[in-house]
Structure 1
Amino acid sequence: MKDWLRKHPEVRTIRVAAADLNGQARGKRIPARFADKAVSDGTRFPFSVLNLDIWGEDIDDSPLVFEQGDQDGVLRPTERGFMPMPWLEAPTALLPIWMFHENGQPYEGDPRQALAAVVARYKARGLTPVCAMELEFFLIDDSGKKMQVPASPRSGKRRKAAETLSIRALDAFDSFFTDLYDACEAMDIPADTSTSETGLGQFEVNLMHCDDALRAADDAWLFKMLVKGLARRHGFAASFMAKPYPEYSGSGLHTHFSILDKNGANIFDCGGPKGTALMRHAVAGCLAAMADSTLLFAPHGNSYARLVPDAHAPVAICWGYENRTAAVRIPSGSTSARRIEHRVAGGDVNPYLMLAVILGAALNGIEDGVEPPDPISGNAYAQPGLAQIPTEWGAAIAAFENSTIMPRIFSRDLIRNYALTKRQEMHYLAELNPEEQLELYLDTV
C-alpha cells in the first residue's frame, strides 16, 4: 500500500473512509506525508460514527454513545488499498478502512464486517458467491427551484421524456460518461455496459461479476461515490435516490449472484433451463427473508415511493423465470451462468448490508433445504393472493426489528442499532416538507 503513494508523488492528501450503516463515507483527511502511520497503525474514531443518522447526528438513546462512554474503534485499511479520487481537483487518494475492536476482533456493527461474516459462512461450506450489480441513477439539474434533466453539453437542449435504451441520450452526455469510465479504470471499478433507462435523465451502469463478494460491494459503494462527485465536476448532480420524480420509475440496484463449489462449478447449473434444487432452496431463502429485510432494500422515507405497482419495482414476494415483474428472477441464457437476480433494492441502499442480507438469506435456504412456492408467469402486479413487501417505512422497521430470520444473518447489536437509526430518521423526516426531504436525499444516498 505504501508503494502506491511513492509511485504517485503528486498526491498531496489522502482520505481514510469507512461506510456507516447508511452507506455514508465517514473518515478523515490526512496529509500524504503522514499516510504511512494510517497504514501501519490504523486510525481511530468512535464506534458510534458508523451508526449516525442520515444527517450525521448521533442516535438518541444509542448504547454506543453515553452508555459506553463513546469508545473508539480501530480502523484498518481494507485489502483494496489506495486509489485515486478523480472527482476532486487536487490529486488525492482514498484509503478504504473498516472497524475493529482494540483486541483485533471485527466490529459487528460495521456493515462491511457484517458482509464478511456472511462470506465466512459460505467459505466454511466450501462455497463462493459470485456477484454482479446493476446500478441506476439520475442526472439532475438542481440549480433552480425545480429539478429537471440537465441540458446536454453537446446540444444545450433538455430532453423532457424518458428515452429507454436511447443511444442519443447516452451521446448527449458523452463527456461525462467518458470521464466516468476513465475514472472507473483508474479506481479499478469494473464498469461494463451503460444504458439510458425509463426515467427522466436516468441511466444504468452494470458492474462485472466478481467472485469476491466484499470486492463487489466495495465496487458498488465506490461507484456511487464516484458518480455523485464526478457529476458535480460536470455542473450537475447525480443521485441514486429511489424516486426523485413521482411520475417516472425509480432507481433500482439489481443484484445477480451464483454460487461456486470448491471445484469452481456453479451449484445452480443443472445443464438445463430450470436450475438445480440448490438454486430453488436459495430462492426460497430469499423469499422467506424478503419481508423482514425490506428495510435494507428500502432504507429511507423516499424509498417507499418506488415500491408501488406498475412502476418497474417489485411489490409481491414471488419468483419466476425470465420475469422482471417478480421480486426474484431467474435469467435465461447459458446454463453455466445460471444465476438468481434479486430485484427489490433501490439505488439508495447500503451495498454491504444489501448484499449481506441477500447472500445470507440464500444460504439460510440452502442450509434448511426448503422449497419455494411455484414460480409465477405473467404480470406479478395483477396476480391476487401473493404476499406483499412492506410498502410503509414504519412497517418495514418493525418487521426487521422483530424478525427471527435477521439474527441468523446479522448481529443483534447491528439489528438494534439500525432500527434505532431508522426510527430516529422517520421521526425527524416528518418535520420536513417535500422539498426539504428531496434536498436531503438528493446528495446523500
Structure 2
Amino acid sequence: MEFLDHLPEAAREFVEGRKLDEVECIVADLSGIARGKAMPAAKFAKQSHFYLPNSIFLQSINGDWVDDADAPFTEPDMVLKPDFTTASAAPWTADCTLQVIHDVFTQDGEMMPVAPRNVLKRVVERYRKQGWEPIVAPEMEFFLVAQNTDPNQPVEPPIGRTGRRAAQRQAYSMSAVDEYGPIIDDIYDFAEAMGLEIDGILQEGGAGQIEMNLRHGDPVKLADEMFYFKRLIREAALRHQCYATFMAKPIQDEPGSAMHIHHSVVDLATGQNIFSNPDGSESETFLHFIAGLQNHLASTIAIHAPYVNSYRRYVRDFAAPINLEWGRDNRTTGLRVPISGPEARRIENRLPGMDVNPYLSIAASLACGYLGLVEKVLPRDPYVGDAYDSAEGIPDTLAAALDLLEDATQIRDILGPDFCRVYTQVKRTENDAYLQVISPWEREHLLLNV
C-alpha cells in the first residue's frame, strides 16, 4: 500500500505493526456532518478517487432535500480525491481504521463551489493574493449530557463520579472537570492517536459544560481538526454512556456553547503580525480588520448561528454576546481584544456558536475581516464598560439572518454566490420545518387560555 508512505507521522505510527483494515473517505456537508464511504484498505489503495452525488450538499439537518432551481435535482456525481495530509486514526473503532478528508471537484475538475472546505480555501486564497496569511485559534465549548433517547424530554446534565448530576456555575473548577475525568482521559488519548494537539481543557459555567482550546495556525488545518474533534469527543462520551452535544443552547437556564475564533494576520514576506507596528503598538491595519468584522458580521450571522436554536444563545447577561461592539479585555463585547504581546495581537470573534460548520464559520469571519482590510475604514470607538447595555446589530431569528445574507453582495461574492444560494435554500427549508412543530410551551400557555 504505497499511500501509507504519504501519511502524517501520527497516522503512520497508528498503523505500524498492525493490519490496516478500513479507510473512511469523508467530507463535511453544510451542517458539518461527516459524509462519505468506508472501504477496505486494499480497495482504497487501488483507486485515486471516488464519487458521491452532489445532493449531499442539498440535504437539511432534518433530512429534507432542497430542489435547487439553478441545478435540477438529477444528483450528478462529484469527484472526491484524498488529501493525505489529513489522514488520521479512528481510534474508537474495533479494527484498525483510518479516516481521510477528501477534496471535492466537479466532473470538469473545478473545485465544487458548495463544498464547505472549498469555501474556506477560496477565502484563504484571497488573503494570500494580497500577501497575507490568516491565522486562527478556535475555542470549543460543549456539554456532556445524560443520554436522551426521547426528544420530548428536556436534556439533563450527566451523573458524575460522585453519583450526583454535574453542577452548574462551577467555572474553572478542577473538581467539576474531575467528575467526568474518564471521558476527558479518552478525549486526550484519542487526540494523541490522531495527532491532534489540545492547548487546554477547562470547566465552563454550565452543568457539564467544557471548553477546549486549540493551538493557532492555518485556517483550513484548524477547521479540519475541529471537524475531527467533534467526532472524537462524541465517541469518547458514548464510551461512558453519555452524550456530547454541540448544540448552541441544549439546556434551559444554562449558558450556551460558543466557538470563539481568534484572528491574526501575518505578512507572507516577513512573517510579522500586521496587527502590530514595528514599535509594538496597534497598527491601523488592526483597526481595519476590526471594522470589517463590525460592519459585515451581521450579514453572516446565519452562518455563525445556523439553526433556530442558535438564537437562544444570544441572551443578555448569559455569557454570550448580543452586540457588534469591540473592546479591550472585555467579555461583554461581541469582538474582544485579548491581552497579549505585539507578536500575538489578535481579535476574538465571540459570536459563533458551537453548532456551526467550522469551515463555514471561519470562512465567514475571515471574509468580514478581509473586507475591512481592503476597505480601510475605521471601527467605532472601543466600548468601555458593560456592553450588554448595547444590543445593536445582531438579527434575533434565523429568518432575519438569512434575509441579511441574501442582501450582502460583497460577502456573497467572497464566499461564492453558488454556495450562498444553496446554503440559504437549505436553511430556509430547515426553518420552515421548525415552524410546523408545536412546542410544549405553546400547548401549556395557549391551548386553554387564548
Match of 1:411 among 416, 419, 424: 416
Gaps in structure 1 of 5+ consecutive residues:
436-445
Residue 80 of structure 1 deviates from its aligned partner by 2.6
| 1:255 aligned onto 2:261 | yes
CA contact (8 A) 1:118 1:356 kept: yes
Q: Whole-Å Cα distance in 2 between the matches of residues 230 and 422 of structure 1?
A: 30
Offset at residue 97 of structure 1 (A): 0.9
Offset from partner CA, 1:172-216 (integer Å, 9 cap, x none): 111111111111111122211111001111000000111x21101
Single out whichever of 281-290 and 46-55 deviates more from structure 2.
46-55
Work out whether 1:338 is the aligned partner of 2:340: no
Residue in 2 that maps onto 1:176: 183
Matched, 1:208 2:210: no
1:99 matches 2:123: no
The one-letter amino acid paired with 1:132 is A
Do 2:23 and 2:97's aligned partners in 1 also have CA atoms closer than 8 Å?
Answer: yes
Q: In the alignment, does 2:168 pair up with 1:161?
A: yes
**CA deviation map 1:210-266 (0-9, x unaligned):** 1x2110111111111111122112210000100011201100000101111021100
Residues 202 and 274 (structure 1), Cα distance of their counterparts in 2 relative to 1, 3 Å cut: farther
State how far apart, in whole Å, the 2-side matches of 1:118 and 1:146 are: 39
Q: What's the counterpart of residue 445 of structure 2?
A: none
Residue 159 of structure 2, aligned match among 148, 151, 157: 151
CA distance in 1 between counterparts of 2:69 and 2:92 reads 35
Residue 62 of structure 1: CA displacement?
4.9
Structure 2 residue 292 is matched with structure 1 residue 285: yes
Q: Structure 1 residue 143: deviation in Å?
A: 4.2
1:431 aligns to 2:436 (yes or no): yes
* Cα deviation 1:357-406 (Å, max 9, x = unaligned): 111111111111111111111111114xx622001111011111121232
Query: How far off its partner does 1:271 sit?
Result: 6.0
Structure 1 counterpart of 2:405, from 400, 405, 409: 400
CA distance in 1, matches of 2:368, 2:129: 16
One of 231, 236, 251 as aligned partner of 1:230: 236
Q: Tell me the percent identity.
A: 34
Aligned partner of 2:379 in structure 1 is 372
Question: 1:65, CA displacement in angstroms?
Answer: 4.5
Q: Which amino acid in 2 is paired with 1:376?
A: Y
Q: Which runs of 5+ in 2 are unaligned?
A: 441-450
Please give the TM-score of this superposition, normalised by the length of structure 2: 0.91
What is the root-mean-square deviation of aligned Cα atoms in Å? 1.8
Aligned counterparts of 2:355 and 2:148: Cα–Cα separation in 1: 22
Alpha carbons 1:136, 1:251 under 8 Å: kept = yes
Kindly indicate whether the alpha-carbon contact (under 8 Å) linking 1:259 and 1:267 is maintained by their aligned counterparts in 2. yes
User: What letter is aligned with 2:221?
Assistant: R
Matched, 1:242 2:251: no
- Residue 192 of structure 1, aligned match among 189, 196, 199: 199
* CA-CA distance at 1:50 after TM superposition: 2.2
Distance 1:55 1:89, change over 3 A: farther
1:58 deviates by 1.8
- Matched position secondary structure for 1:407: helix
**3-state SS of 2:282 partner:** coil
How many correspondences in the alignment? Answer: 427
Q: Please report how far the alpha carbon of residue 8 of structure 1 lies from its aligned counterpart in structure 2 after TM superposition.
A: 6.0
Partner amino acid for 1:136? E
Which letter maps to 2:85?
Answer: R
2 CA distance for matches of 1:135 and 1:272?
33
1:305 maps to amino acid: R
- How far apart are the structure 2 equivalents of 1:8 and 1:123? 41
- Residues 374 and 177 of structure 1: is their aligned pair in 2 closer, same or farther, counting only changes over 3 Å? same
User: Is the alpha carbon distance of 1:271 and 1:148 closer, same or farther for their aligned partners in structure 2, counting shifts above 3 Å?
Assistant: farther
1:194 and 1:206 in contact (8 A); partners too = yes
Q: 2:4 aligns with which of 2, 5, 12?
A: 2
Instruction: Kindly indicate whether residue 126 of structure 2 is the aligned counterpart of residue 121 of structure 1.
Output: yes
Q: Distance in 1 between matches of 2:436 and 2:325?
A: 36
How big is the shift at 1:16?
0.8
Distance verdict in 2 for CA 1:356–1:61, change over 3 Å: closer
Q: 2:50 matched to 1:43? A: yes
Return the alpha-carbon distance in structure 1 between the equivalents of residues 406 and 85 of structure 2. 32
Say whether 1:130 aligns with 2:138: no
- For 1:142 and 1:149, the matched residues in 2 are separated by 9
SS across alignment from 1:409: helix
